[in-house]
Amino acid sequence: MLPCEVHLDRGLISGIVRTAVERCITSSGLSRIPNSPAELFNSSQANSIKAEIIRAGRKLWTRQYVDGSGGNISARISPEYVISTPTMLSKGDLRVEDLSLVDLENRQIVGARPQTSEILLHLEIYKAVPDARAVIHCHPPYATAHAVAGIVPQGNLVSEQELFIGPVALAAYETPGTMAFAKAVLPLVRGHNTILLSNHGLVCWADSVTHAEWYTEVVETYCKTLVIAKQLRPDLIEIPSSKITDLLTLKKRLGLPDPRLPVDESPVPASAEIVALESGYVFPHDVSDFEIELLVSRLSGEIVQFLEEQA
C-alpha cells in the first residue's frame, strides 16, 4: 500500500507513458503523421525518397538519358503531396535542397526553387493511377528516336521487356509543360507504365523512384537492341505466343500493367482518403499526434486511478 500522503505527479506519469507509447509505435513500424506539410517534407521517410531522387537523377545524367536541364523526377509521399525536381537544373547537379513539395493541383508548398514546368504530366498520372508512387520523364536517345519517328517498337522480342514494360504506347504530340501535354497520356497510362511522347521523349511510372528509373533503362536498351537487330535481320523472330502467355501470368502476379491484361476501368476515387486506402497508404505515416495524446491520456488516467486506489 502507498502512504496516503504520497503526491502523484501526473505530469511525470504522462511523460513516462508518452515515451513508452512512442517507443511502441516506432518498434511496430508505425510512425507519426506530421503536423504540417513542411514537417512531412522534412520527415525521415521523405528524406530517404529525396536521396533516391538524387541518385536517380545522377544515373539518368550519367547514362545520357537527359541533357541540359531536361528531364524531371517526382515521388508521391502522401495522398496529397508530391516531391518534385526543379526547373532549369541538370539532373546531374541535383541536391536535396533543390527539391520542392507540391500538391496535386501544382501549388508549391515547400521549397526555394520552383518545381519543373512539366510536373503537370506527373500529377495527371498520379491522379489517374493510384498505384503510381514515382514518375520519371527523360530523353534517352534510342527511345526518343522511336518517339520522333512515330514508331512503336516491335514487341514480343525480349522477355525482360515483355515482363517489366510490355507493349510501349505512343502519345500524341502536345506542347511540353501544358495541360494538353499532361492529359495526352491519360488514355494510355492505366494500361502502360511506359509511354513514348511523340517528338519529345519518354515517361515511366512505378511504385518507387528506383523502379521507374529501371524501366527507363529497360525500354532504352530494348529500343537500342531493336535498332541493331534489325540491321542484322529485318524480319525478327518473336517469342512464341504460348511463352508470352507465361510472362503475362507472371506479370499479373507482380501487379504490373499491360494492355493485354484486363484493365480496371472503374472511376478513379476523388477522395484522397479513398485513394490512400486503395493504394496502400497512408504513407509514410500512420498515427496522428491527436491519437497519441488520446492514448497517453487514457493510459495515464488508468495508472493514476490505480495508484490512488492503492493509497
Q: Write the pLDDT tens digit of every residue in 154-195.
A: 999 999 999 999 999 999 999 999 999 999 999 999 999 999
Task: Yes or no: say if 152 and 169 are a contact pair by the CB < 8 Å rule.
Answer: yes
The confidence score (pLDDT) of residue 34 equals: 77
Name the domain count of the chain: 2
The confidence score (pLDDT) of residue 8 equals: 74
For residues 200 and 144, what is the distance between their CA atoms, to the nearest angstrom? 7
Task: Yes or no: say if 155 and 162 are a contact pair by the CB < 8 Å rule.
Answer: yes
104 and 147 share one domain = yes
What's the pLDDT band for 290 if we cut at 50, 70, 90?
low
165 and 294 share one domain = no
| Residue 157: exposure state from Cβ atoms within 10 A (0-12, 13-18, ≥19) | middle
149 and 44 share one domain = yes
What's the pLDDT band for 74 if we cut at 50, 70, 90?
very high
Residue 223 pLDDT > 70: yes
What's the pLDDT band for 265 if we cut at 50, 70, 90?
low
Minimal CA–CA distance to 83: which of 129, 35, 116, 56? 116
Tens digits of per-residue pLDDT, 291-306? 677 687 778 888 888 8
104 and 200 share one domain = yes
| Range of weakest confidence among 20-29, 50-59, 154-163 | 20-29
Residue 90 pLDDT > 90: yes
The confidence score (pLDDT) of residue 96 equals: 97
Catalytic (active-site) positions: 118
Minimal CA–CA distance to 189: which of 134, 258, 136, 255? 258
266 and 298 share one domain = no
DSSP per residue over 230-266, as a string?
HHH-SSPPPPPHHHHHHHHHHHHHHT---TTS----S
| Residue 232: exposure state from Cβ atoms within 10 A (0-12, 13-18, ≥19) | exposed
Whether the full predicted model's pTM is greater than 0.85, yes or no, is: no
115 and 251 share one domain = yes
Residue 5 pLDDT > 80: no
186 and 158 share one domain = yes
74 and 196 share one domain = yes
The confidence score (pLDDT) of residue 45 equals: 87
The confidence score (pLDDT) of residue 27 equals: 77
224 and 176 share one domain = yes
Task: Yes or no: say if 76 and 63 are a contact pair by the CB < 8 Å rule.
Answer: no
Task: Yes or no: say if 209 and 49 are a contact pair by the CB < 8 Å rule.
Answer: yes
Residue 192, domain extent: 37-283
272 and 308 share one domain = no
For residues 77 and 222, what is the distance between their CA atoms, to the nearest angstrom? 31
| Residue 23: exposure state from Cβ atoms within 10 A (0-12, 13-18, ≥19) | exposed
All residues at 6 or more sequence positions from 258 whose CB lies less than 8 Å from its CB, including other chains: 166, 167, 191, 192, 248, 251, 252
What's the pLDDT band for 22 if we cut at 50, 70, 90?
confident
